[in-house]
């Protein structure tokens, strides 16, 4: 396992919501202006802190959804119905309101445009967020690294960034959607959980020595990482990030 990147001391910064959009019925992208933001790498996450009027605070970690863009930081937050923080961020936080943010955090689950190895991204549900940051970073840098994305979702309605993924597909990104409950019309693959066949057909052969990034709920990541190892991928080339069921 290689060493991850070193980062400096992290301070809490004020972040103002300047724009937002719904990705699905329950997932909202927040565009935050963070003066003094030091920039970040695709795949990193940030800590968000909310403070109530009486001084009570709650903090959670969220992956950044887009590459560095000056003072703007984009997060996509999935509402967890019984969560403490996410329902506020998706349903309540108004434009011009302020929260606190610190980061970036995590120097391991990152992709850098200079890396020449082909890339396989495997997302389960809201695990698409840090992988989308990588897709966007590649596009922004005009990078030609071969990328393949396999994105597992329950239903077509739960696909984040659907329009952008369609456009990225036309621009040469390989995108395979794996529907687990209800497939989109015209899809040949019957709905069902991701299999070794999916990863073999829509991923890279192990001989190409791709870097594999897997992000999603714990069970999904466990299964996919094991399947990739079983297909001959070097465990050291498989980087994982897991969203527990309690990200609330």
CB atoms within 10 A of CB 175: 16
Which residues, 6+ apart, have CB-to-CB distance to 20 below 8 Å?
28, 29, 30, 31, 93, 95
Instruction: Establish if 228 lies at the interface with other proteins (CB under 8 A).
Output: yes
Distance CA 144, CA 138 (A): 8
Alpha carbon of residue 7 to chain centroid: 21
Scanning 4-12, 69-77, 114-122, 187-195 for contacts with other proteins by CB under 8 A, the matching segment is: 4-12
The CB-of-17 to other proteins minimum distance in angstroms stands at 10
Kindly tell me which residue out of 35, 36, 52, 116 binds other proteins, with binding defined by CB under 8 A: 52
Instruction: Establish if 35 lies at the interface with other proteins (CB under 8 A).
Output: no
**Between 98 and 137, how does the x/- string for binding to other proteins read (CB under 8 A)?**
xxx-x--xxxxx----------------------------
**String of DSSP letters for 221-236:** HHHHHHHHHHTT--GG
Distance CA 247, CA 129 (A): 14
Enumerate binding residues for other proteins (CB under 8 A).
1, 3-10, 12, 14, 47, 49-53, 55-61, 84-85, 88, 92-94, 97-100, 102, 105-109, 218, 221-222, 225-226, 228-229, 235-236, 238-240, 242, 244-246, 248
């Amino acid at each position: 396992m290689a060493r991850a990147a070193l980062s400096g001391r992290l301070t809490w910064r004020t972040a103002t919501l300047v724009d937002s959009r719904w990705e699905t019925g329950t997932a909202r992208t927040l565009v935050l202006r963070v003066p003094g933001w030091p920039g970040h790498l695709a795949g990193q996450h940030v800590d968000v802190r909310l403070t109530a009027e009486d001084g009570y605070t709650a903090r959670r970690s969220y992956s950044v959804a887009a590459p560095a863009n000056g003072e703007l930081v984009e997060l996509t937050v999935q509402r967890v119905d019984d969560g403490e923080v996410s329902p506020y961020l998706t349903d309540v936080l108004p434009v011009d309101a302020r929260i606190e943010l610190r980061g970036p955090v995590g120097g391991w689950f990152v992709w850098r445009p200079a890396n020449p190895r082909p890339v396989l991204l495997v997302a389960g549900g809201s695990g698409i967020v840090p992988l989308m940051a990588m897709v966007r970073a590649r596009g922004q840098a005009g990078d030609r690294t071969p990328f393949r994305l396999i994105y597992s979702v329950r239903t077509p309605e739960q696909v984040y960034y659907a329009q952008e993924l369609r456009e990225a597909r036309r621009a040469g990104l390989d995108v395979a959607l794996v529907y687990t409950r209800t497939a989109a019309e015209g899809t040949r693959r019957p709905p069902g959980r991701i299999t070794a066949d999916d990863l073999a057909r829509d991923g890279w052969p192990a001989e190409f020595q791709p870097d594999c990034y897997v992000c999603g709920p714990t069970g999904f990541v466990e299964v996919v990482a094991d399947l990739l190892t079983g297909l001959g991928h070097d465990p050291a080339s498989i980087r994982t990030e897991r969203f527990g069921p309690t990200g609330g």
